[in-house]
Copies of this chain bind each other. A is one copy, B any other.
Amino acid sequence: MNAIPAMNRLIGQFEKLPGIGAKTAQKMAYYVLSGDKERAKEFADALNAARESIHYCAKCHNFTDREICDICADKTRDSALICVVEQPGDVETLEKMKDYHGVYHVLHGLISPLDGVGPEELTVKPLLERVANEDVREVIMATNPSVEGQTTALYIAKLLKPFGVRVTALALGIPVGGSLEYADAATLSSSIENRREI
């Protein structure tokens, strides 16, 4: 079986996908080659079509098939409020909430010196340009509350300071519907520190 170069090449491609190991990659390759021969063609066509039509929005760097994505082009949204996220999936997640009416900026990663990812690898410069050239009132840092996420948020906040723009971060605390019993010490400590009037 492993003597088929085209099969190994395809399995290798599936293995590169996030969260996919050798065994699952093989299953996937077998699946697309089994049964209907058109399966692999449809898949390849979908990949090529996506690659040709989808690129980053010139403003927010989210995926789009136009020059400016639907969210950035939406005149009813508050373009003076920018929510900075790590990846396109985060925009999707925040949009589901339907409560946010500002725009976004997708970093496409987090600063992580150990992985060799510095600010130059991210869309930090385009963000600064947006803040410098557009009428921006507030930037919400919505990176994950991990070490890399918080480092990135603090780094960008520092760069944004000279522009006199308000920089905020998502509240850290006990999840709605959660239980004190299962909250970790860092979350509890943050929820006490950031306690609110009721």
Residues of A within 8 A of B (CB): 1-7, 9-10, 12-13, 16-19, 24, 26-35, 37, 39-54, 62-65, 70, 87-89, 91-92, 95, 108
Q: B9–A63 contact, CB under 8 A?
A: no
Chain B contacts of A29 at CB under 8 A?
A: 50
A63 is contacted by which of B30, B40, B52 (Cβ under 8 Å)?
Answer: B30
Chain B contacts of A39 at CB under 8 A?
A: 16
**Number of copies of this chain in the oligomer?**
2
A64 is contacted by which of B4, B28, B52, B87 (Cβ under 8 Å)?
Answer: B4
With A31-B18, A63-B7 in contact, is A48–B54 under 8 Å at CB?
A: no
Q: B54–A88 contact, CB under 8 A?
A: no
How many Å from the CB of A117 to the closest CB on chain B? 11
Chain B contacts of A31 at CB under 8 A?
A: 17-18
Q: B46–A51 contact, CB under 8 A?
A: no
How many Å from the CB of A147 to the closest CB on chain B? 22
